[in-house]
Structure 1
Amino acid sequence: MDDIVIKAMGKWPNVPACYGWLGLDARGDWYLRDLAVQAQGSFPQIKGEKIVHSKWIAFMGRNYAADANGCWFFQNGPQRVFVELEVTPWVFRFGKTVTELISHTGVLTESLGFVQDEHGYVYAKTPIGLGLLHSHEVALLAEHIDDRLLAIEEASSKDFERKYGYVKSPGVYSAIATVPPQEPSVR
């Protein structure tokens, strides 16, 4: 996390968390969801306003983390803004090879294997967690599978949150969770 964010957390330690105001879609795009948008429906059916400012997106990426319960958030100074996930906490594109991956936040990682769900979506298992493979990358992956350089396992997406330790809707989770809030873990 940025030093300025860490200092703000120390200066104002008891700022309430924010739920429902930020979404991450299946393409790795961030959406701001004000009260009027939230009143229209849940994410991702009603997305809100796409955040396009490159410096703001980079700041969000540097300050993106998960708590011990698997709820992902953007630490905005002293306030933790929990993220509604359309699919997974990460969206990956290929780097120089099909085993090198770059997350929507710019984190470089590697594939430990690929998984396809019952809807045909492809995910990468990585040291930083499970992430959806960006739709623009699927054709390149298919070429390598056809060449028998890679294999894809099949799995049901209904088990992903539990199996891979993330929560798609932290606001819903916080309302029913019995685990007390934990310190963030930067990934």
Structure 2
Amino acid sequence: MDPIVEAALKKWPNVPHCYGWLALDARGDWYMRDERIQHAGPFPQVKGSRIEHRKLIEFIERNYAADPTGCWFFQNGPQRVYVELEAAPWVWRVAAGGQISSHTGLPCEAQASWLDEQDRLFIATRLGLGIVHSMDMHEAALAVEQGLWQPQAARHADLLARHAVQLKPLPP
């Protein structure tokens, strides 16, 4: 977490949490969902405005974490902005030889893998559960063919429960 964020938390410890305004899709793109978009429909059917400002994306990703209930958030200074997830909290990019990194740029190693009922490939790492980016399925298929990963069949809901992931955080 950025030092400026930690300082803000100490200075203003009781800022209310924010829900519904930030989302992460299955390709690792961040979306702002203002009140009008939230009323227009649920994420990901109505995504909102894709965040493209590189420095803002980097700030979000440096301050991205999960609470004890499996809800993911971005700590924006003193305010916790909860994130709606399309599929999982991490989106894995796959390079040659099955090397993976998160959508935030963190390198990881696969611990287990699954195919869900929609034939989406999920991988667990030390960071948690993530979905393989759709553009990297060729490299992922090569990793499976080489025996680096052995995906098992699993329901998406079961994977989320097993890894304590909440797709849509709600206020208490």
In which range does the TM-score fall when normalised by the shorter chain?
over 0.9
With over 3 angstroms needed to count, the CA separation of the structure-2 counterparts of 1:150 and 1:159, relative to structure 1, is closer
Match of 2:48 in 1: 48
In the superposition, the TM-score normalised over structure 2's length comes to: 0.95
Q: Unaligned stretches of 5+ in structure 1?
A: 176-187
Distance 1:96 1:142, change over 3 A: closer
Which deviates the most, 87-96 or 160-169? 87-96
Counterpart in the other structure of 2:117:
118
Q: Give % identity.
A: 48
Three-state SS of the structure 1 residue aligned to 2:75 is strand
**How many residues are treated as equivalent by the alignment?**
172
What are the equivalent positions in structure 2 for 1:22-101 lying under 5 Å apart?
22-95=22-95, 97-98=97-98, 100-101=99-100
Equivalent position amino acid for 1:2 in 2: D
Counterpart of 1:79 in structure 2: which amino acid?
Answer: Q
Report whether the alignment pairs 1:3 with 2:13: no
Which residue number in structure 1 is paired with residue 128 of structure 2?
129
Cα drift, residue 145 of structure 1: 2.5
Alignment partners' CA distance in 1, 2:158 and 2:127: 18
State the secondary structure of the residue aligned to 1:74.
strand
**Structure 2 unaligned residues grouped into runs of 5+:** none
Given that 2:66 and 2:73 are in contact with CA atoms closer than 8 Å, whether structure 1 keeps it comes out as yes
Q: Deviations over 1:64-113 (max 9, x none)?
A: 00000010000000000000000000001024530x32111112111112
Q: How far apart, in 2, do the equivalents of 1:144 and 1:11 lie?
A: 48
Shift of 1:141: 1.7
Going from structure 1 to structure 2, the CA distance change for 1:20 and 1:111 (only over 3 Å counts) comes to: same
1:170 match: secondary structure: coil
For residues 55 and 47 of structure 1, what CA distance do their matches in structure 2 show? 21
Q: Secondary structure at the match of 2:97?
A: coil
Indicate the RMSD between aligned Cα atoms, in angstroms: 1.3
Q: Report the Cα distance in structure 1 between the residues aligned to 2:69 and 2:15, rounded to whole angstroms.
A: 19
4+ runs deviating over 6 angstroms: none
TM-score (normalised: structure 1): 0.88
1:8-59: CA deviations, max 9, x gaps? 0000000000000000000000000001111101111110000001111011
Distance 1:78 1:149 in 2: 42
Q: 1:92 to 1:18 in 2, by over 3 A?
A: same
